[in-house]
Chains A and B, each alone.
Chain A
Amino acid sequence: MLAKRLIACLDVRDGSVVKGINFQGLRNAGDPAELAARYNAEGIDELTVLDVTATIEGRRALIDTIRRVSEQLFIPLAVGGGIRSMDDARAIIEAGADKVSLNSAALAQPPLITALARTYGSQAVIVAIDAKREGDKFEVFGRSGTTRDTREAVDWAREAADRGAGEILLTSIDRDGTRSGFDCELTAAVSTAVPIPVIASGGAGTPEHFVEVFSSGRADAALAASIFHFSEHAVRDLKTFLSDRGVPMRLDW
């Protein structure tokens, strides 16, 4: 049976891991390569390196960080942040990433999704959607959650899938950094609307939150950062907890 995936996100700035609280207030939490190796040993299913400040400050994800992280890592590695062109994506993939995650660039130039999917395959293309509740709708925001887009999250996810995205990384801006649980309603709305896997993000605080997002949220994978970084809940313990509650998990690593 296909396991639900746990993905650790390394928010990276200037080669160091940081974690944003509602995309503000960053604090240092270590070396990305060291953290990646630790997560791999603990049984994480996948890693995402996100250059958190890339879009705002015009930075590109650090190629050197990707090289170091991917050196001894034989699980999938996704990289996002500041990818605006085929050349940006190529540099990141050649450095060792298996997938690139597009957010603002996909909103600004949707054909880039298709171009990347044609060159590297859909499995290499994640479209990241940052969504916020506005009344009974979920509005899309770009540029690290600072700029409201005209699109609605479910429609945009459908379009991204049609254009060749292989996965959707869906972040609730309302929940991000709050540790109050994933937005299961948002996740389910997107996950049932698209044929491709949906990775839920934003709000992980307790092991129960993961049970909820995999059941009522219909998520295929869940991504978190701080809950993993500071060892409040080791990956191993979380996997055991979820498995005991009937969530299919990869337990051999």
Chain B
Amino acid sequence: MSIALVDYGAGNLTSVLKAFRAVGADVRLVSQVSELEGARAIVVPGVGHFSVTASLGLDWHTTIRGALDRRIPLLGICVGLQWLFEGSSESPGTPGLGVIKGRCFRLEGDVKVPHVGWNGLDRTTRPSRLLDEVPTGSSAYFTHSYAAPVVEETAAATTHALPFSSVVERDLVFGAQFHPEKSGRTGLRMVENFLRVVREAR
């Protein structure tokens, strides 16, 4: 039984695989919905355009929602976090999984977009297992142009002209807008925290 890292054509997954393996996870790439069977956790990564998530069609939605019902933890990274929401103005016709209410929007203001580099995680009052031993203000590596709104599930927010959700968490649904696999010790800590959630979910 292993963690399924969903490979749906949204960029390169070498770094994500390396980070999970570095903290001792048994992780495998999954490109067919049928291969999710038996997974102890599901990780949806992603870079680039929200429209790429269209290849995670209705069958993926149904299977992943079913897995959540069976207490299988779900982690979305970058576009994967945005996909947890209902949709994005980047690709209005592409529905997200919709397990968190709200729509993603383009960052804009007197700043450069894309938002590239290290920025701080401002923890909210919401308790978070993903952020266990990650103090508020910790730096994480971001690279994105669209972002998710700050909502009830927001465990950490970050501001780049506009505030957005950098970590969301509700029960077994987790999301990180930054790249934990590229965020040094802080990022590896979050991957470890997710592994602990996976171990304790059964």
Is B a genuine binding partner of A? yes
What is the interface of chain A, defined by CB distance below 8 A to chain B?
1-5, 40, 45, 70-72, 74-76, 93-96, 98, 120-124, 166-167, 195-197, 220-221, 250-253
B119 touches A122 (CB 8 A): no
In the assembled complex, the CB of B103 is this many whole angstroms from the nearest CB of chain A, namely 21
B22 touches A252 (CB 8 A): no
19 contacts between A and B (CB under 8 A): A70-B15, A74-B18, A74-B181, A75-B183, A93-B14, A94-B14, A96-B18, A98-B15, A120-B12, A122-B48, A123-B47, A123-B48, A123-B114, A166-B143, A196-B112, A197-B112, A220-B117, A251-B139, A252-B139
| Chain B residues whose C-beta falls within 8 Å of the C-beta of A123 in the assembled complex | 47-48, 114, 116, 143-144
B139 touches A195 (CB 8 A): no
B113 touches A2 (CB 8 A): no
Closest to A76 in B: B182
| Chain A residues whose C-beta falls within 8 Å of the C-beta of B116 in the assembled complex | 123, 166-167, 196-197, 220
What is the interface of chain B, defined by CB distance below 8 A to chain A?
10-12, 14-15, 18-19, 22, 47-49, 111-120, 137-139, 141, 143-144, 159-160, 181-188
Interface majority SS (helix, strand, loop, mixed), chain A: loop
Interface majority SS (helix, strand, loop, mixed), chain B: mixed
A195 touches B113 (CB 8 A): yes
What is the CA–CA distance of A175 and B165 in the complex, to the nearest angstrom? 41
Known: A1-B119, A167-B116, A220-B116. A124 touches B187 (CB 8 A): no
Of A3, A4, A74, A197, which one neighbours B19 at CB under 8 angstroms?
Answer: A74
| Chain A residues whose C-beta falls within 8 Å of the C-beta of B111 in the assembled complex | 2
B186 touches A252 (CB 8 A): yes
| Chain B residues whose C-beta falls within 8 Å of the C-beta of A4 in the assembled complex | 117
In the assembled complex, the CB of A80 is this many whole angstroms from the nearest CB of chain B, namely 16
A124 touches B119 (CB 8 A): no
A1 touches B120 (CB 8 A): yes
| Chain B residues whose C-beta falls within 8 Å of the C-beta of A1 in the assembled complex | 119-120, 159
User: Which of B117, B159, B160 is the most central at the interface, judged by chain A CB atoms within 10 Å of its CB?
Assistant: B117
Of B137, B138, B144, B182, which one neighbours A98 at CB under 8 angstroms?
Answer: B182
In the assembled complex, the CB of B181 is this many whole angstroms from the nearest CB of chain A, namely 6
Closest to A70 in B: B18
What is the CA–CA distance of A179 and B19 in the complex, to the nearest angstrom? 37
| Chain A residues whose C-beta falls within 8 Å of the C-beta of B19 in the assembled complex | 74
